Structure 1
Amino acid sequence: MSQLPLFVYGTLRPAFAGPMAGQLSAMTRYIGRAVAQGRLYQIADYPAFVSGPEGQVIGDLLMPFNLSTTLAWLDDYEECTRAYPEPHEYRREQLTVQGQSGRVIAWAYIYALPVTDLPLIASGDFLSHKR
């Protein structure tokens, strides 16, 4: 598995005051802000990212110290392993994001269910969105 950074856009962002963001921060090195093409939707108290040509989603790039350990932990946290029944809410995939130094391929967790009835986070920034 190639050493790619991780793009986080919601409750896993370093600036989010939550235990999982803190745990992930301890497992990674912060690279900087990044922007992905797509839209962000509100689900309860966390967001859903749907990649696509319209819209921009603000997030952060993190470089895991141990990629396989970090991704295994995140796959379990995002409930997208075989241990969880399908359909999974998220799927992990690679996408191109715009980092501070240019375009970067990164791992991201993409929402895999319909967003028809979910409210759009128009700013694309979960941290600045009034919940």
Structure 2
Amino acid sequence: MTLPFFVYGTLRPGEGNHDVFLRGRTLAEEPARLAGAALYDGPGYPYVVEEPDGVVSGELVTPLPEEYEQLLVALDRLEEYAPGDARNLYERVAKPVVRGADGRTVRAWVYVAAPPVAARLRAGGTRIESGDWLTRS
């Protein structure tokens, strides 16, 4: 399934991993929101945790078609995600994301905290109340 990516942390423009992984490999990058999720400090990097009362701000990234497969592999490696691996810190899931430009909802890949990580964060993690990694403090 070929989907854009919703990025909310170190892959956003101006953050450290954006230039390393995305610069020159995207067709479009635009503001977007993910509802039904909260943002937690990793620390050093964020986690999205599925929670009904939250909204997370980020970017909807559409890769260039010729870069898609390589970018998918690179991002899975960055997030240490392997399908079906119980040791995953993140799971890559398809979620509805609201585009900031026109309010349309599109499905996108989102790296969310794996269930054991999400449970630990809910129990004692630091929630970023703004839902925006770029304005955390």
TM-score by length of 2: 0.84
Uncovered stretches (5+) of structure 2, i.e. residues with no partner? none
In the TM superposition, 1:117-128 aligns within 5 A as: 117-128=124-135
Instruction: For 1:120 and 1:98, locate their aligned partners in 2 and report how far apart those are by CA, in whole Å.
Output: 22
Instruction: For 2:26 and 2:4, locate their aligned partners in 1 and report how far apart those are by CA, in whole Å.
Output: 9
One-letter code aligned to 1:125: D
Q: What CA deviation, in whole Å up to 9, does each residue of 1:48-104 have, x standing for no partner?
A: 10133211100001111222211111111111126xx63210011100011022111
TM-score by length of 1: 0.88
Q: Give 1:103's aligned residue.
A: 105
| Alignment CA distance shift 1:51-1:67 (3 Å) | farther
Q: Give 1:33's aligned residue.
A: 31
One-letter code aligned to 2:89: E
Uncovered stretches (5+) of structure 1, i.e. residues with no partner? none
* Residue 60 (1) aligns with residue 59 (2): yes
From the two aligned structures, give the one with the greater helix fraction. Answer: 2
Whether the 8 Å CA contact 2:8–2:56 is kept in 1: the answer is yes
Q: Give 2:89's aligned residue.
A: 89
Instruction: For 2:125 and 2:61, locate their aligned partners in 1 and report how far apart those are by CA, in whole Å.
Output: 27
SS at match of 1:14: coil
Instruction: For 2:58 and 2:13, locate their aligned partners in 1 and report how far apart those are by CA, in whole Å.
Output: 10
Instruction: For 1:52 and 1:68, locate their aligned partners in 2 and report how far apart those are by CA, in whole Å.
Output: 30
Whether the 8 Å CA contact 2:21–2:74 is kept in 1: the answer is no
SS at match of 1:59: strand
Q: Which moved more, 1:56-65 or 1:45-54?
A: 45-54
**C-alpha RMSD of the superposition:** 1.5
Alignment: residue pair count? 125
Whether the 8 Å CA contact 1:36–1:51 is kept in 2: the answer is no
Q: Give 1:22's aligned residue.
A: 19
Aligned-residue sequence identity (percent) comes to 34
